[in-house]
Amino acid sequence: MRAAGAVLLVAHLLIVGWLSLRPRTVPWVPAANLRPLATIRAELAHGPWEAVQSLGGAVLLLAPLGILLPMTAGRLNVSPLGSLARTAFTGAMVSLAIELLQAGIPGRVPDVDMVLLNTAGVVLAHLLVVPGVRYRLRRKEDPPVRPTPTRARVHLAPQADALSGSRTYL
Q: What is the pLDDT of residues 70-114, one digit of tens each?
A: 999 988 889 999 999 999 999 999 999 999 999 999 999 999 999
Residue type (1 letter), 43: E
pTM (predicted TM-score)? 0.80
Rg (C-alpha) for the chain, rounded Å, is 30
Q: Identify the weakest region by mean pLDDT among 47-56, 59-68, 115-124, 158-167.
A: 158-167
Report the alpha-carbon distance of residue 144 to residue 101 in Å, rounded: 51
